[in-house]
Amino acid sequence: MQRVMIVGCPGAGKTTVAKRLAVVTGLPLVHLDFHYWQSGWVRTESDVWAEKVETFAAQPRWIIDGNYGGTLEPRIARADTVIHLDFPTHICLYRVFRRMLAGLGKRREAEFVEGCEERFDWKFLWFVLNYKRTNRPRDLEKLESFGGQMLRFEHPRELEQFWGMVG
C-alpha cells in the first residue's frame, strides 16, 4: 500500500479516513479540495487542475482523498489501492448537513485554503442527495479499469471492522 485513492460521496468520511490512514502508514496525504478551491470558493481552471493532479499522482507514495471525476484516470493508473466509501445517501447527507451547521463560518484548515469557510450550500446538499444517481455510475465505470486492491465499504460499521484489523 504505497499509493491510495480514497473516493466516495461527500460526507462519507474520505478526509477522516485519509488522515487516519496517513497516521497508520506514514504516507504523505493530499487533500484534493485544498488544491482545487481557491479563496472565495473559486474553482481552479480545468487544464491547471488536470496538471496538478497528474503531478500528485506521479509521486512515488501518497494518499489522495477526493473524487473529482474528471481527474480519476491518472490516479487510477498509478494507485495500488482504492478505498471506496460507498455509504447510503442518508448517512452522507446527514453528515454534510451536520458539518455545515457545526462549522458555519469556520474553515477546515487542513482541507481548504483561507477564504473557503464553511457555508450553508443548498446546491451542494442537492449534489450529495443525487450523487448515487448522477456521479457514482460514472465513477464506478472508471474504477472498472483498476487492477489493484479495491476496498469497498458500504456502511460505517464495515469501515470500523477494517480499522480493527489495521490498527
Q: What is the CATH number of the domain that holds 144?
A: 3.40.50.300
Please check whether residue 85 is in contact with residue 143, taking contact to mean a CB–CB distance below 8 angstroms.
no
Structural domain including 62 reads 3-166
Mean pLDDT for the stretch of residues 129-134: 96
**CB burial class (10 A; 0-12, 13-18, 19+) of residue 114?**
exposed
Which of 50-64, 107-121, 137-151 has the least mean pLDDT? Answer: 107-121
At 9, the pLDDT band (50, 70, 90 cuts) reads very high
| pLDDT above 80: residue 120 | yes
Reading the block at residue 147, the C-alpha cell is 487492477
* pLDDT value, residue 167: 62
Say how many C-beta atoms besides its own lie within 10 A of residue 70's C-beta: 12
* pLDDT value, residue 41: 94
What is the phi/psi pair of residue 23, to 5°? -65, -45
Residues 6+ apart with CB under 8 A from 146: 76, 79, 82
At 164, the pLDDT band (50, 70, 90 cuts) reads confident
Please check whether residue 11 is in contact with residue 93, taking contact to mean a CB–CB distance below 8 angstroms.
yes
* pLDDT value, residue 165: 82
Mean pLDDT for the stretch of residues 118-129: 95
Predicted structure pTM score: 0.93
- Amino acid identity of residue 103, one-letter, is G
At 166, the pLDDT band (50, 70, 90 cuts) reads confident
What is the phi/psi pair of residue 120, to 5°? -85, 120
The count of domains in the chain is 1
Note the pLDDT tens digit of each residue in 19-78.
999 999 999 999 999 999 999 999 999 999 999 999 999 999 999 999 899 999 999 999
User: What value, to the nearest 5°, has the Cα angle with vertex 91 and ends 122 and 138?
Assistant: 75
Reading the block at residue 34, the C-alpha cell is 485544498
| pLDDT above 90: residue 110 | no
What is the phi/psi pair of residue 6, to 5°? -120, 120
